[in-house]
Structure 1
Amino acid sequence: MGCRRYAVNDTGPARWIRRVTVPVVLIALVTSAALLLGRIYDGPTVTWLTAGSGAGAVLVGALARRLPNWQVAPLSILLMGCYLLATCWWTARQAELPAPATRLLVDAAVNGVPRLLTAMIPMEPVPDTVVVPVVASWIAGLTAAEIAVRGRRMLLGLLPPLLLFGAAVFVVGPNAEPARWPAVLFVAAAALGLMVTATRPAPAGPAPVDSAPLARSTAAPDQPSAGWADGLRLRSTLVSLAGAGAVLLVVVLSAPVVVARISTTDVDPRRYVTPPQVDSLDENPLIRISGWALNPDQPLFDIQVGAPPGDTVSEAGRSATTGAQLRLRLAVLHDYDGVTWRVGGTYRNAGRVLPPAPATETNRAEADRSLVHQRITIDELSGRLLPAMPAPARVDGVRVAYDAASGTLLHPEGLTDGMSYTVDSVPPPPASNALITADVPAGEAVARTLRVADGVPAELSRLARQIAEDNGAPYQRALALEQFLAEHYRLVADAPSGHAYPNLGFFLLGPREAGGQRGTSEQFAAAYALLGRLIGLPTRVVVGFVVPPGGTSVHGVHAVAWPEVLFSGIGWVPFDPLPRPDSVIRPVEEDFRPAPQESTPPVEQSPLPPVDPVPSVPAAAGPGRQGSTPGWMIGAVGGMLGLAVVGGGVFGVLALRRRQHRHRLTGGGPADRIGGAWLEVVDALRLAGHPAGVHLSASEVSRHSRELPGIDALPDLDPLADLVNYAMFAPDDADLEQAGVAGNHAIGYVDALRARRSWWRRIVWSLHPGPLRWHRRRTSAVDTAREPVSLT
């Protein structure tokens, strides 16, 4: 055995047994890897295609063993190309992909590996997910055949199938049950191949009887005798037994460690590959509501709803398609940092059949008789997110990525005008009486939907407590919150966009005459979700479209945001906090009880001691009388006092401004210093006459600072904005080096901006007392880093 070449000069049946057994063994080894890999695919198609690829390569190598080496490889590669084209054509036909096979093959060759590692399991057999396993199986079969058949080194020929099997194990990872039978098949086939190709010493037969003395006397010195052959056979057996014993001992000693390591470490290559991402337009589609509200006639897409072809709609599906409204989801936003709501989903490339979302698993059992069919044609809707009814179970016509946590769809190549696709969705069940007594889940699994960022205004917390104080059950709290928003706030189309803490505070408690208590569905949904989390309800915000049932053209007027609440055993339930068309809106001041003002006890007046009367001095008779003060002296003294007051004020402002600057950049911890550097930049923008808006985040302020009218070539504030965001989310991890870098960025930007002002404006800049009072209400510089820029 070993890596020596096995003999091929056998005659009779033994020779043909080896020639047939070695290719069969190699095909069995490749097939075992195909069986293992097929466990993460939908159906047996990939198993057959991968096994056929390896078998074809082995057969080509076995049948062409008489050809020269330089001819076998090109012939095998040519046949592999034909096999790949046939594979792409077949899988594209099964997946109903309209593109030609050659184009699909080129695209799969370029993007096959990342799409294979980002695809949702179970994966659908499409060219993207099939080409890489087929090529790997063919190469492994070709290499193994060249080594084991042509090179006659069976042990070394086991290496390519072993690498293919290990790669299959790595790709499958923890996404399937342990594969016992493929491993048994691999070991059995390898043992059979080694046994058949084992090299045995040539036996020494007895010499002819009539010439035995002559044969023994004239035998060559290196000719083994019968005794020597028996000894060699015995030694070979003992060595084999010792080697097998050593291997068995190593397996016995290392098996517990290996099994324990495998059971505690889930190695999944998908965690190292970035899945398809939403673009900046779709990361927070909530801000698009205002734009659509101002352009109500903008055509976004067309939709036709009905039963799947050749099927009927169940009662749940009929109520979803014939009701007063039809809800289509575009994005689901779970994460809120006090400034913006974000999608935060993990999208995986998916086939046509989608796995159920966690909230719809109880409904998917009736999927066959409750599917609702939608045909959607994109018009002017941009981005990558695809609108669809909840919860999609099948998508045809386009390549999609799917986020199972939210049940939303993404088209990695982006939406284009005229793009058409179909979706079969499982409609949510109608509201049941179980909601009245349903509880809401708690724990780490729903911590994401209960998290509230720091810096919530006290008035909002007080408002949430007041709404929930007379409603104990979760569903009653959710209904009370919906009713409160619908009765006290007005829905308008021209309200400014924004859902940060200051924006929601102004929307909920701002005076009506100043524009408060009015907003778009963006503010209604965001306010509901925030107040719901403050009273213990797991909430999220959904951006989508509410359209009439049946077929219709969806425009900007149909775009809306609504909140959803998660109930145990039921799933996500939508709520509608928008006011009804015929409702009378009451000012929030009529029902909201603000915090009582702390009364100050009256100061007890102590009796004053008696004062002796002062004798009156007779008034002077005229300006020329003796003892009168000259007017010029009074003016001089007054002028000197005025100059002293002005000079003292100037000196005081300069000293306080200098002390403030030094305290911001060198006082407190690293996070406070980073926040102080940000305050320097914010004050500089205001002193320059270009203040940043109250709704802008740090990154948006950085972009605003680069676009100041009439001012060019300013330093870039993106590194400082990144440090501010880092200090906002992880203040305890900031260090002094980062604080120093932030201070240098702030000083450089402020100096450059001030240098571009005229000389007298630079003087006003230095003497302006505004920075001393603009941020007095903040307890620390970190508060500024954690809240939007304020102009008050």
Structure 2
Amino acid sequence: MKLLWSALVLLVAALHFGRAWDGMLVLFGLCVLLGFVAVLLKQKMPAGLAVLTMLILGFTGGFFAARDAVPGRTDPTQVLLDTVPRLLTAARPAPATPELLTPGLLLVFGVSVVVSVSVARKGNSLFAPAVGAAVLYMSGALLTAGRIDPHGLVALLLLGLLAGGWLLLERRGPVAPPVGVVLACLALLAVVLPSVDAFEPRKLVRPPVTDVEIANPLPQLASWAAMGDTELFRTRGPEVPLRLATLSDYTGASWEAASTYGPLGVVAPPDLPVGNRLDETSVDVQIGALSGEWVPAVGRPRAVSLSDAMVDPNSGSLVLADGVRTGLRYTVRGALETPSDEELAVASVPADPSVRRYLALPRLPFSLAEYARQIVVNAQTPYEKAVAIEQVVRLDRRPDAEAPVGSSYARLETFLFGTNGDAGAQAGTAEQFASAYAVLARAVGLPSRVVVGFQPVPADASGDRVVRAADATAWPEVYFTGWGWVPFDPVSGNGSGPSAASKREVLNRLASTTAKPPTTQASLPPLALPSVAPPVAAPVVASGFKPLWFLAVLLVPLLLWGLRFGRRLRLRFGGAPGAWSYVLDVLLLAGRSPSVHQTAPDVARGLGSAAARLAVLADRAAFAPDPAPVADAWSLARETRKVVRRTVPWYRKVFWSLDPRPLWRR
């Protein structure tokens, strides 16, 4: 009954702890049940060895589960230790991947093993399940900064289970008063702690930040357009735009993506605050022919089921350092900024230094600056400027998948001002439409950037949304104070973002918004970029896994226990002398080895009546001419062992069954 109650208490605590991961509660429940298998193992070997064996098996399984996901690590200890900072720097809830599940499952398994063996021993109190449940509950609270039990309801449930078990199963009277005091203190903590500011353990771990060399995906729009109906990936979920990459830095020659990425959920906050109106959604993605490092995501990612996905904190772009592969499946949850038309109509744009990178236009040609000024000459608000630029960029220009690629000043001047006969004049891919918009917006003080992604795709009969190569596009975004990044669509004007009615109302107020290219076009000369020698890769030293010492840690304890078990069997069948020799082994382990000159009765003084009787029987068997066999000699030796162990400090009991000294005692 005690074991069932202990398993129930730990099961509740483990399932609560398992909520720190994404959808894997059943594994934590199985770990509790597996930990109680140690009770069966205890029937065949000493309790300490049963615990040690189960823990070694658990850590071995954890190593083999996590080693493939921890590159560059071959040492078992390093692999297991590396999973802890990975978990602390993962998203919340943590993705259910092997290397992130390993530390949590090992903790649950270890606590269950120790508690089960402790409760199964006769005479032990029921404080062990309370300690184990407290360890799991506090670990879950620390891992999530208290978010999984904000009102303390699970803590109160655990207290109720503990109180019921102690009152029904613990029959010893002196235990009741301390139990009442402990329960009262824990109940007070369960009520008070949720109101206290949570401690954030992630402050103790510096999140890994990775520099990733990633190509700009804008020029690839033309090749995707040529691929036509090739399936890049498919999704299941709401009809929302999917982002592939967000490009915030413009050099005058091209757009550049961020190169520094960190784990999702622990990187620094973005340089510009998120909007006040957010709509959170989740989609499932299955990769088809899409290649590269970029991972399709929705809005600003909050969680993703890929443990090795890294994020740019400012743009929310997700990347995989090893690249996406065909058949990859994952779930991504993100927040979309969805301000209303009325809110945008009166919104402003920030003017502080935090938006400097989103206004940067190195050596902007006069032609583009003057063109932008003409577009917004009648606009009164930032939103009216944004709508006017969208209208003018789209006016009298056509999408052309075969147009020359590029987003330099020179290419944009040809796109905007070119005449018939010029390659790419008045025609371009989504790259030129989005880039022209972003450059013109920056020229009039609107913080802007370019996004490469996929507009909403309708679902087929099976519920999947098949995203094909021809669906790839790019669009610009403008940042409005308090409402975040708002997308515009200079290609068709019908993309996500402000409604068509709102834009039409603005254009009606502005009458006919047009702009003419200035008579003097000062094109930017080619940029002279310094040549940088490619970095020389350090030689890779192949290091195979050498598990010799690891196997020794696993096998040596089992070998020592086997030798000690064989000696114990031999002494058990040796009659009274063998039983007395076992008592001498026990005294050696307890640090009370007698002098070689003492007789057996002298040694037995102070060890109880069983030791005194066994000493007499051992002397008689050794010196009598024809000693009769004694049936109860071994039971007397075991009673003596119990008496001796009561006086032994705990640190001697830890390795009691593995101490090799009795093996060479004569």
1:563 to 476, 479, 484: 476
Map 1:31-46 to 2 at 5 A: 31-42=11-22, 45-46=24-25
1:694 CA displacement: 2.0
2:150 is matched with: 178
Alpha carbons of structure 1 residues 399 and 445: separation in structure 2 relative to 1, 3 Å? farther
Please tell me the residue identity of whatever aligns with 1:34.
Answer: A
Q: 2:345 aligns with which of 406, 429, 438?
A: 438
Change (3 A) 1:78 1:424: closer
Question: Which residue number corresponds to residue 393 of structure 2?
Answer: 485
1:694 aligns with 2:610: no
1:630-660: per-residue Cα shift (whole Å, max 9, x none)?
xxxxxxxxxxxxxxxxxxxxxxxxxxxxxxx
Cα deviation, residue 541, structure 1: 0.8
Within 5 A, what are the aligned runs for 1:129-140?
129-140=100-111
Matched, 1:279 2:187: no
Contact 2:374/2:516 (<8 A) preserved: no
CA deviation digits over 1:488-536, x for unaligned, max 9? Answer: 989896867465xx77897799999999988865454234224324545
1:281 corresponds to which letter in structure 2? I
Alignment CA distance shift 1:178-1:393 (3 Å): closer
User: In the alignment, is residue 348 of structure 1 matched against residue 264 of structure 2?
Assistant: yes
List aligned pairs for 1:610-621, cutoff 5 A.
Answer: none
Q: Give the corresponding residue for 1:466.
A: 374
Give the C-alpha shift of residue 470 in structure 1: 0.7
Distance in structure 2 (CA, Å) of the matches to 1:342 and 1:382: 17
Q: Aligned partner of 1:173: which letter?
A: A
SS in 2 for 1:37: helix
3-state SS, counterpart of residue 263 of structure 1: coil
Query: In 2, Cα distance between the equivalents of 1:427 and 1:73?
Result: 46
Where do 1:483-522 residues align within 5 Å?
A: 483-486=391-394, 497=406, 499=408, 521-522=430-431
Show CA shifts across 1:415-440 (max 9, x none): 34x446598999999x9994897344
Distance change >3 Å, CA 464–CA 128, structure 1 → 2: same
The question of whether the paired residues in 2 share the 8 Å contact of 1:528 and 1:577 is answered with no
Q: Deviations over 1:522-570 (max 9, x none)?
A: 4542342243245454533112368998899956x87643213467879
Higher RCO by CA contacts (8 Å cutoff, separation 6 or greater): 2
Mapped pair 1:49 → 2:21: no
> How many angstroms does 1:170 deviate by?
1.7
Find the aligned partners of 2:129 and 2:336 in 1 and give their Cα distance: 56
What displacement does 1:342 show? Answer: 2.4
Task: Say if 1:360 and 1:391, in contact at 8 Å, map to a contact too.
Answer: no
Q: Is the Cα–Cα contact under 8 Å of residues 540 and 565 in structure 1 kept in the other structure?
A: yes
Change (3 A) 1:488 1:359: farther
Richer in helix (by share) = 1
Change beyond 3 A, Cα 1:64–1:112: same
Write the letter of the residue equivalent to 1:49: L
Cα deviations across residues 442-482 of structure 1 (Å, max 9, x unaligned)? 56999669842486648465553432221224443223213
Instruction: State whether residues 418 and 425 of structure 2, in contact with CA within 8 Å, keep that contact through their aligned partners in structure 1.
Output: yes
Indicate the RMSD between aligned Cα atoms, in angstroms.
6.5
Say if 1:35 and 1:405 are closer, same or farther in 2 by CA, change over 3 A: farther
Matching residue of 1:574: 488
- The letter of the residue matching 1:53 is C
| Equivalent residues, number | 481
**Equivalent residues in 2 for 1:373-772 (5 A)?**
377-378=288-289, 381-387=290-296, 410-411=319-320, 413-416=322-325, 418-419=326-327, 434=341, 438-440=345-347, 442=349, 451-453=358-360, 457=364, 459=366, 463-486=371-394, 497=406, 499=408, 521-522=430-431, 524-544=433-453, 560-565=473-478, 572-576=486-490, 588-590=517-519, 694=527, 696=529, 701-703=531-533
What secondary structure is seen at the aligned counterpart in 2 of 1:33?
A: helix
Decide whether the 8 Å contact of 1:332 with 1:540 is kept in 2.
Answer: yes
Q: Does 1:30 align with 2:10?
A: yes
Q: Is the CA contact (8 Å cut-off) linking 2:250 and 2:361 kept in structure 1?
A: no
> Are the equivalent residues in 2 in contact too, given 1:40–1:175 (CA < 8 A)?
no
CA distance 1:470–1:299, change in 2 (3 Å) = closer
Q: Percent identity?
A: 21
Q: 1:150 to 1:399 in 2, by over 3 A?
A: same
Partners of 1:574 and 1:539 in 2: CA distance: 10
Check conservation: 2:142, 2:200, Cα contact below 8 A. no
The answer on whether the counterparts of 2:263 and 2:309 sit within 8 Å (CA) in structure 1 is no
CA distance in 1: counterparts of 2:45 and 2:333, whole angstroms: 57
User: In structure 2, the residue corresponding to 1:414 is in which secondary structure?
Assistant: coil
Q: Amino acid of the residue matched to residue 244 of structure 2?
A: L
Q: Could you list the per-position Cα deviations for residues 94-117 of structure 1 after superposition, in whole angstroms to 9, with x for gaps in the alignment? A: xxxxxxxx9789659878546644
Match of residue 230 from structure 1: none
Change (3 A) 1:553 1:156: closer
Task: Provide the C-alpha distance between the structure 2 equivalents of 1:377 and 1:74, rounded to a whole number of angstroms.
Answer: 47
SS in 2 for 1:476: helix
State which of 114, 134, 142 in structure 2 corresponds to 1:143: 114
Give the match's secondary structure for 1:143. helix
Shift of 1:29: 5.2
| CA shift in 2, pair 1:332/1:446, >3 Å | farther
Residue among 315, 331, 356 paired with 2:245: 331
Encode CA deviations 1:298-337: one digit per residue, 9 max, x unaligned: 68952587988xxxx9xxx6xx9xxxxxx76421234568
Partner of 2:197, secondary structure, is helix
Aligned equivalents of 1:41, 1:538: Cα separation in 2: 37
Indicate if the aligned counterparts of 1:301 and 1:376 stay in contact, CA closer than 8 A.
Answer: no
How far off its partner does 1:406 sit?
A: 6.2
Contact 2:359 2:448 in 1 (8 A): no
Give the Å deviation of 1:149. Answer: 4.8
| Paired residue type of 2:153 | W
| Alignment-mate amino acid for residue 485 of structure 1 | V
- Structure 2 Cα separation of the partners of residues 271 and 574 of structure 1: 39
CA distance in 2, matches of 1:387, 1:348: 14
Alignment partner for residue 61 of structure 1, among 34, 39, 59?
Answer: 39
1:664-711: CA deviation from partner (whole Å, max 9, x where unpaired): xxxxxxxxxxxxxxxxxxxxxxxxxxxx97263xxx64437x99xxxx
Is the CA contact (8 Å cut-off) linking 1:336 and 1:342 kept in structure 2?
no
CA distance in 2, matches of 1:507, 1:270: 53
Unaligned runs of 5+ in 1: 1-19, 89-101, 202-232, 321-326, 350-356, 580-584, 595-691, 708-792
Partner deviation per Cα, 1:32-86 (whole Å, 9 max, x = no partner) = 532432444455x51x53244235424633872673246513663588599x79x
Q: What is the Cα deviation at residue 139 of structure 1?
A: 0.5
Runs of 5+ consecutive residues of structure 2 not aligned to the other structure: 71-78, 266-273, 494-513, 537-666
Secondary structure, counterpart of 1:482 in structure 2:
helix
Q: In structure 2, what is the Cα distance between the partners aligned to 1:103 and 1:128?
A: 7
Instruction: Assess if the C-alpha contact under 8 Å between 1:506 and 1:516 holds in 2.
Output: no
Q: Which has the higher Rg, Structure 1 or Structure 2?
A: 1
Instruction: Tell me the equivalent position of 2:50.
Output: 72
